[in-house]
Each structure stands twice: as structure tokens, then as C-alpha cells.
Amino acid sequence: MSKVLFFGRTADRLGRSREVEIPPAGLSIADLRQRLCNADETARDALDRPDVRACVDQVIVGDDARIAPDQEIAFFSVFSGG
């Protein structure tokens, strides 16, 4: 199982993290987002938004980026700044 992290208002709805199964062949961010959205309405509300970005190994990526099982994945809305 891989951990997907959430921050900011995204974490307000989904908690700090969820466990997901990433297949050994990998997955695209779009696929993963879809999978999380399909799990429940709260997740869809929180993640199916254009301002919610994905991040792999602490680098912001687009929807077509591929992720492998051992990578660190996160979803969050835009930074507010400090």
C-alpha cells in the first residue's frame, strides 16, 4: 500500500492521508485521482477540482505524470503563501 498525502483544505475533508494500492506497472495521476474520486462523494468533492494539484516526490506534476508504488504522492489546493 502507498500513502497519498493531503494538505490544506483538501486535508480538512479527507484527513491527512489515505492508503492506496499502486500497481507495480504504475498509474497516471489522472487514474489515481479517478480512483480516489470513485471511492466516495467526499473524495470527489475534494479532489475533482481544477485547483487541486498533484505532487510526486514533492514536485508538482500534471495529470499525465506516472507514479510507481514507492513514490510519495500528495494532493493539495494552491499554496496560500506564508
Partner 1 sequence: MAVHTRLALEPFDPARELAAFLDGRDQDGAVVSFTGVMRGQGRDGQTLERLHLDWYPGMTEASIAKIAEDTAARFSVSDVRVVHRCGDIQPGEPIVFAAAAAPHRRAAFEACDYLMDKLKTEAAFWKREDSASGSQWIDPSGKDRADAARWSKL
| Closer CB to partner 1, 38 or 80, in the complex | 80
Judged by beta carbon, residue 67 or residue 74, the one nearer partner 1 is: 74
| Min dist. Cβ of residue 66 to partner 1 (A) | 20
* Measured distance CA(34)–CA(80) in Å, rounded: 25
| Residues near partner 1, by CB under 8 A | 5, 7-9, 11-12, 55, 58, 74, 76-82
- What is the three-class DSSP state of 47? helix
The CB-of-6 to partner 1 minimum distance in angstroms stands at 10
* The three cell numbers locating residue 44: 470527489
